[in-house]
Structure 1
Amino acid sequence: MMSPMPTPNEETGRSRPMTARRVGWRGPLAAAALLVAAVNLRPAVTSLGPVLEEVRADVGMSATAAGLLASLPAVCFAVIGVAAPRLARRYGAAGVVALAMAAIAVGLALRPLAAGAALFVAVSVLPLAGIALANVLLPVVVKERFPGRVGGMTGLYSMSLNLGASTAAAVTVPLTGAFGGDWRAGLGAWAVLAAVAVPLWGLLARDRSGTAGRAARPADPGPVDPAPGRRLARDPVAWALAAYFGLQATAAYVVIGWLPQIFRDAGLSAEAAGLLFAVTSLLGVPLSFALGAVAGRLPNQSGLAAALGLFGLAGYAGLWAAPAAAPWLWAVLLGVANCSFPLALTMIGMRGRDGATVTRLSAFAQSTGYLLSIPGPVLVGALYQYGGDWRAPLALMASLMLPQIAAGLLAGRDRQVG
C-alpha cells in the first residue's frame, strides 16, 4: 500500500504530537515568568516609603539624601535602560531578564545591611538597575512569545505590576512588625519574591527554539542597518511614544509622592489620606488588564489615550478647586488616569514590526520618557514649598495633561516603526 503524503510537520522531521508537546509547555512557562517578573518591578520602590522615617534615623540619612533616593528610580530607569537592547542582542531577552531578576534579589537582600546613608543609596542602584532592564525587555518578550495577544498579555503583566506595587506598600509595615519592628527584615523579605523569578527566567532563557531565548534578530537579516538608533530617533512615532511615556510617568510619580500630603493638607486624617492613595493604586489592578486587552484589539489607541488624559485633567481640576469636597471621586479619577502606563506599554509593543524593533523602541521610549519625567516631581515640590499651598502645583499637573493627550493622539495612530 502506498503510504500517505507526509504532512508539513513530517517533512521537517517533527510529528504533530511532538510539536504540540514542544509548544505546549512554553506558553504557560512564559506567562508565569512574565507575571512573576512583573510583581517584582516595583516593591524595591514602594516598600521603602512606609519605613523611610525609620531608615533615615538608623542610617543617618539627611533630607537631601532622601530626596536623591526618591529620584533614583527615574534616573536608573533612564540611564540603565538604554543598555537593554545591546545586552538582549548578545544574551537574549529572556537571559537578560533572568540576570535582572537576580540583581533585584541580591540588591534587596543587601540593601538592609547597609550601615550608612551613602552605602544604602549605592546598594539601592543594584535592584533598580535590574528593574530598568526588565522594564525595557518585558514588552519584547510579550511581542516574541505572544505576537497575537500583545494587548492582553501586556494588560496581564501590568496588572501584576500594580499588584506588586500596592502589596509592597501595604505589607512592609506589618512585615516589619512581625519581625519585632526591625525594618531591615521588613525590607529584605522582598528579596525572596524576586528570587522565585530567577529559575523561571533561567528555564525560558535555555529554550533556544523560541525567539525570546536568543538574541532578537530575524532569520534573514538582509542588509545591516548601520545606525538603527539614530534612525529611530528621527521617527516621529518613537518621539510621540517617548513623550507620552514621560508625561504619564511624571503624573504617576507626583501621585505616588504627593497625593497623600495633598489630602492631609486639605484636612483629612493620615489614615484617610493613605486609604485614598491605596485606591489610586488598587484601581490599576483590574483596569490595567482590561485596558490592555481592549487596546490590543484596536488598531488605533488614540481615543483611549485622550480619554485617560481627560480623567486626569478632571481629577487635578477637582483637587485644585475643592480637595476635601469629593476626595473619593478625585482619587478614582486619578487612579483611572494612571492606567496610561499599561496603555503606553501596549502601544510600544504594537508600534514595532518585530521583536528587534520593539527592543529598540522600548529602550528609546522608556529611557527618554523617564529622563523627561525627572524634573516634574521636583518642580511640584518646589512650587509647594515656596507657594505654601497646592494650587500652583495642581495647575501645573492639569496643564501637563494637555500635551500628554496630544502625544497620546500621535502615538496611538495605526503606524509602525522600523
Structure 2
Amino acid sequence: MSDVARSRRTWGAGTVVLLAALILLALSLRSGISSLSVLLPTVRDELAISPAGVSLLTTLPPLCFAVVGLGTGRLVLRYGVHRITVALLAALVVGLVGRALADTWWIFGIGTMVAMAGAAVGNVVLPPLTKLHFARHEAGVSAVYGAALVGGATLASALTVPIADATDGWRVALATWAVLPALALLGWLPTLRTPETGSVPADAPTGASTPEGTSGSASAGAAAPPTLGRIVRTPLGWAFIICFGAQSAQAYVQFGWWGLMLTDLGADAAHAGVLLGIITAVGIPVTLSLPLLIRVTRDSAALPLAFSVSTVIGWLGVLLAPLALGGVLWAVLLGFGAGAFTWVLAMLARRSRSPEGSSQLSALTQGVGYFIAAAATFATGLLHDATGDWQVGIVMMLALAVVIGVAGAAIARGGTVEDAVAAHLDARP
C-alpha cells in the first residue's frame, strides 16, 4: 500500500472516530438534566427535598453552565481543548454516578453540580472542537452534534421512567446515563497525544495548514483577537447573549419544571415524560435540516422568527388548554421552537473564523446567556410558590419567546465576531 493511500485511510478512520466521539459527547450533555426532570417528584419525596431545594436543583444546570461556561474559554486557551474535553467527561461520569448513590439531598445536589459543571464545559468546547477537526464540514457537523444534544435529552426523557419502573428504583435509572460520557471518554482519550496549535483538521486534504475561511480577511481578527472583554462590547456579542439566554430559559424551564407543571395540570408522570420527549424529539429533524435551511434563508431573519412564533403558540396552548389533544400539539410546537438553540450553536461557528474566535464567542454567549436561563428557571419556581399556579411563569416564557425573534434577527444579519471586534476598536476615539 502506498504512503498516500495509507495516509488517506488513516485520516478517514481518524475522522470517523472523532465524529463518533463528538456525537457521544453531545449525547452526554443533556441526558443528566432531562432524566432528573421526569423523576423529580419521586426524588423529591424520597430525599425529602424542600420546595426551596427543588428550585435550587432545577436552577443548578443553567447556573453551572453560566458560571463555569464563562471561565471555559480561558481554560481552553491555557490547557488545550483536548485536555479540557477529557476532564469534563470524567466529571460527568463522577457526578452522575455520585448523585445516584446519594442518600441526602445535599449530596445529591453536589453530584448534580459536578455533572452540570462538566456539561457546562462541554457546551463551550463543541464549537471549537468542530472548528478544529471538521473545518471543511462545519455546518453539517454542527447539525449532527446539535441533533445529538437534542437526542440525548429525548432518550433520557422517554426512557428514564420506564427504566426506573423496570428496576424498581430511581437510582439505577439516573445512573444509567453515566454510560454515555464513559463511552465518549474512551473516544477522546487518544486525542491527548494530538497537537492542537497549528494542527491540521482531521478532514482537511493533505497539505492544508489552516481551517477553511481563516485566511485573507482574517487579518483584522489576528490584529485584534476576539477576547471576552472585546466581544462583550459589540452589538453582535449581545445579540448572541440575549438570543441564547432567552432560548435557554425556555429549555431549562421545560427540563426543570415540565414534570411538575404537567402533573399539576392533570397528566401523570409517564405522560408528562412522553410530552417532554416529544418536545426534544421534534428538535432532531429540525436540527438535521439546519444546514439546508440556513443556505435557503441565507442571512434573513426567517429562521429565528419562525422559532419565536412557534414557541409563543406552544406556550399559549399550554396556558389556555394544556391537555387538549393530549398536549401533543403544544409539545410539537415547543419542540420546533427549540430549534433556536441548535441554530445559535451553528451560528457560533458561522460567525467566527477560527477555533479561538469560536471558543471565546461560545464562552461569552453561553456563560452570560445561562445566567438569564438560571434566573428564569428559579423565578418560575418562585412564581409558582407565590401564586399557587403556573400562569405567571408561562407568561414570562411567552415574553422571552418574542425576544428570541428580535435578537435572532440581529444575529442573522451580523458578520463575524472578528470583524465586530475590529469595528469596535476602529470606532474608539
Could you say whether these structures have the same fold, taking a TM-score greater than 0.5 normalized by the shorter chain as the test? yes
In structure 1, C-alpha distance between the alignment counterparts of 2:323 and 2:97, rounded to whole Å: 41
Equivalent-residue separation in structure 2 for 1:255 and 1:328 (angstroms): 15
Give the aligned length: 402
Closer, same or farther in 2 for the Cα pair 1:61/1:398, shift >3 Å?
Answer: closer
| Cα distance in 2, alignment partners of residues 18 and 280 from structure 1 | 45
Equivalent residue, structure 2, for 1:360? 360
For residues 321 and 173 of structure 1, what CA distance do their matches in structure 2 show? 27
Of 144, 149, 152, the residue aligned with 1:161 is 149
Report the alpha carbon displacement of residue 118 of structure 1 after superposing the two structures with TM: 1.8
CA distance in 2, matches of 1:189, 1:259: 21
- 1:35–1:160 contact (8 Å) kept in structure 2: yes
Which residue is equivalent to 2:421?
none
Q: What are the superposed Cα offsets for residues 176-202 of structure 1, whole Å, 9 maximum, x if unpaired?
A: 3443x2332332232222211112111
Moved more, 371-380 or 294-303: 294-303
Tell me how far 1:239 sits from its aligned partner.
1.0
- The counterpart of 1:207, out of the listed 183, 194, 197, is 194
Q: Which residue of 1 aligns with 2:66?
A: 78
Partner of 1:6: none
Q: CA deviation at 1:121?
A: 1.1
Which residue in the other structure is 1:189 paired with?
Answer: 176
Offset at residue 225 of structure 1 (A): 5.2
Matched with 1:304 is 303
SS in 2 for 1:374: helix
**Per-residue deviation at 1:157?**
1.1
Distance 1:252 1:101 in 2: 22
- The aligned runs of 1:373-388 (5 Å cut-off) are 373-388=373-388
Structure 1 CA distance for aligned equivalents of residues 270 and 116 of structure 2: 29
Give the alignment of 1:386-397 within 5 angstroms: 386-397=386-397
Distance 1:103 1:300, change over 3 A: same
How far did 1:387 drift?
3.7
Distance 1:392 1:126 in 2: 32
**Residues 305, 60 of structure 1: CA spacing in aligned structure 2 closer, same or farther, 3 A cutoff?**
same
Counterpart AA for 1:82:
L
C-alpha separation in 2, matches of 1:44 and 1:319: 25
Decide which moves more: 242-251 or 95-104.
95-104
Deviation of residue 336 (structure 1)?
0.5
CA-atom RMSD in angstroms: 2.9
Structure 1 equivalent of residue 423 of structure 2: none
State the Cα distance separating 1:302 from its structure 2 match.
2.4
Distance 1:164 1:353, change over 3 A: same
Q: 1:175 aligns with which of 160, 163, 171?
A: 163
SS in 2 for 1:41: helix
Q: Which runs of 5+ in 1 are unaligned?
A: 1-13
Distance (Å, rounded) in 2 between the aligned partners of 1:290 and 1:226: 32
Aligned-pair distance for 1:385? Answer: 3.8
Residue 40 of structure 1 aligns to a residue in which SS?
helix
In the alignment, which residue of structure 1 is the partner of 2:410? 410
Q: How many Å apart are 1:233 and its aligned residue?
A: 1.2
Residue 33 of structure 1 deviates from its aligned partner by: 0.9
Deviates more, 1:219-228 or 1:347-356: 219-228
Matches of 2:329 and 2:226, distance apart in 1: 48
CA distance in 2, matches of 1:339, 1:50: 21
Alpha carbons of 1:118 and 1:280: their partners in 2 closer, same or farther (altered >3 Å)?
Answer: same
Matched-pair identity in % = 32
Inter-partner Cα distance in structure 2 for 1:238 and 1:182? 45
Q: 1:223 to 1:288 in 2, by over 3 A?
A: closer
Instruction: Tell me by how many angstroms 1:298 deviates.
Output: 5.6
Mark the CA change 1:381 to 1:223 in structure 2 (over 3 Å): closer, same or farther: closer
What does 1:89-100 align with in structure 2 at a 5 Å threshold?
Answer: 89-100=77-88
* Structure 2: runs of 5+ lacking an equivalent: 203-209, 419-429
User: CA offset at residue 359 of structure 1?
Assistant: 0.5
- After superposition, the Cα gap between the structure-2 partners of 1:49 and 1:267, relative to the gap in structure 1 and judged at 3 Å, is closer
TM-score by length of 1: 0.86
- 1:317 maps to what in 2? 316
Whether contact under 8 Å (1:155, 1:293) holds in the other structure is no
Say which is worse superposed, 284-293 or 234-243, in terms of deviation: 284-293
* Larger Rg belongs to: 1
What is the deviation of 1:39? 0.9
The letter of the residue matching 2:379 is: L
**Residue of structure 2 in register with 1:30 after alignment:** 18
**Counterpart-to-counterpart distance in 2, 1:396 and 1:177:** 35
For residue 328 of structure 1, report the CA deviation from its aligned partner: 2.6
The separation in 2 between residues aligned to 1:226 and 1:262, in whole angstroms, is 45
Using CA pairs below 8 Å that are at least 6 residues apart, which structure has the higher relative contact order? 2
In the alignment, is the contact (CA less than 8 A) between 2:226 and 2:357 conserved in 1? no
Q: Which residue of the partner structure matches residue 103 of structure 2?
A: 115
Q: 1:298 to 1:99 in 2, by over 3 A?
A: farther
Distance in 2 (CA, whole Å) between partners of 1:144 and 1:298 is: 26
AA matched with 1:175: I
Conserved 8 A contact 1:60-1:117 = yes
Structure 1 residues 103 and 390: alpha-carbon distance in aligned structure 2, compared to 1, 3 A threshold: closer
In structure 2, what is the Cα distance between the partners aligned to 1:295 and 1:223?
Answer: 27
Partner of residue 3, structure 1? none
Cα distance in 2, alignment partners of residues 103 and 205 from structure 1:
17
- Structure 2 CA distance, aligned partners of 1:207 and 1:48? 36
Counterpart contact for 2:37–2:256, Cα < 8 Å = no
* 8 Å CA contact 1:312, 1:401 repeated in 2: yes
CA distance in 1, matches of 2:21, 2:296: 24
Query: In 2, distance between residues paired with 1:242 and 1:411?
Result: 10
Deviations 1:198-246 (A, max 9, x none): 1211123323274579xx9999999775882211111111110111000
